[in-house]
């Protein structure tokens, strides 16, 4: 439960499967700065700095938007020794919070950071359990204080499902004292984001987890 000032939008677009790595269609794919940032698990400003320094070839659209070839970005990542993801579906994300405005704000942030992501919201612990079992998400953003099951109970139930061993759990809450963090860590939470949060502070935590999942489980059937 917390204040959130970000404007709200709803999301729920289906996951978009990328073509197999190395295919001609994928190598010719043009990326926006945001898509390139998601691929590299960095901030879009970092992509802009790389482009300004001539490290990654880019061009501008008629409207002034920066675009780059996926193949050029992957080549740069390989030169720098960065992990290069194989083709797989965009991440599936379940957002669990009893405040609809928070769910919508998180959806908006993630939709921009991970184009094509499948985003679903649950508003209490019981809904969360059903939705997580149905969606088999890559990432769960989880509040702590909710009607019904608490975030600690939801996390414990999620970790008891063998099919969700790959799922990353980020607890987003205004109730993250030392004892609560200890309990959540004990039941398998991966990371914490205190409320109120900014898009930057959220993505600083989420991007590496999504990138890590993509590199570890790339190519897994969805």
Treating both helix axes as pointing N-terminal to C-terminal, what angle do 70-79 and 33-40 enclose, rounded to 10 degrees? 30
Which H/E stretch holds residue 50? helix 44-52
Strands (E), the chain: 30-32, 59-60, 66-69, 92-96, 118-122, 139-142, 168-173, 191-194
Q: What is the mean pLDDT of residues 121-138?
A: 92
Mean model confidence pLDDT for the chain: 82
Which DSSP symbol is given to 89? B
- pLDDT (0 to 100) of residue 206: 95
Higher confidence at residue 210 or residue 4?
210
d(CA 180, CA 27): 45
Please identify which residue in the block is written with the tokens 């008891």. Answer: 160
Residue 41 has phi, psi (to 5 degrees) of 60, 45
Mean pLDDT score, 123-127: 92
Share of the chain above pLDDT 70, in %: 81
Please determine, for residue 95, whether its predicted confidence score (pLDDT) is greater than 60.
Answer: yes
pLDDT tens digits, 27-37:
457 888 888 88
The model's confidence at residue 87, banded by pLDDT at 50, 70 and 90, is low
For residues 178-194, average pLDDT: 97
Give the pLDDT confidence score for residue 47 in this predicted structure.
Answer: 93
Structure tokens at 138: 């890559």
**Nearest CA among 122, 66, 61, 56 for reference residue 94:** 122
Instruction: Give dist(CA 111, CA 108) in Å, integer.
Output: 5
Please provide residue 147's backbone torsions phi and psi, each rounded to the nearest 5 degrees. Answer: -65, 150
The domains of the chain, with CATH numbers, are 24-79 (1.10.1660.10), 92-216 (3.40.50.2300)
- Residue 6 reports pLDDT greater than 70: no
Q: Count of H helices and E strands in the chain?
A: 9, 8
């Amino acid at each position: 439960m917390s204040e959130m000032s970000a404007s709200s939008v709803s999301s729920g677009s289906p996951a978009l499967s990328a073509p197999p790595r190395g295919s001609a269609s994928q190598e010719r794919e043009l990326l926006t700065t945001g898509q390139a940032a998601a691929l590299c698990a960095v901030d879009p400003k970092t992509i802009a700095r790389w482009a300004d320094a001539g490290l990654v070839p880019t061009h501008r659209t008629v409207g002034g938007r920066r675009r780059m070839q996926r193949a050029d970005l992957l080549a740069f990542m390989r030169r720098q020794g960065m992990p290069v993801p194989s083709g797989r579906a965009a991440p599936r994300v379940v957002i669990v919070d009893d405040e609809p405005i928070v769910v919508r704000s998180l959806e908006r942030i993630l939709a921009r950071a991970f184009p094509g992501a499948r985003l679903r919201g649950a508003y209490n612990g019981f809904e969360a359990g059903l939705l997580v079992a149905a969606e088999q998400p890559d990432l769960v953003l989880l509040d702590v204080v909710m009607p019904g099951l608490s975030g600690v109970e939801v996390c414990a139930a999620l970790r008891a499902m063998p099919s969700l061993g790959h799922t990353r759990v980020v607890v987003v809450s205004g109730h993250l004292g030392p004892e609560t963090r200890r309990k959540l860590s004990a039941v398998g939470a991966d990371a914490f984001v205190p409320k109120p949060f900014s898009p930057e502070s959220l993505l600083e935590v989420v991007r590496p987890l999504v990138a890590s999942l993509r590199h570890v489980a790339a190519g897994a059937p969805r």
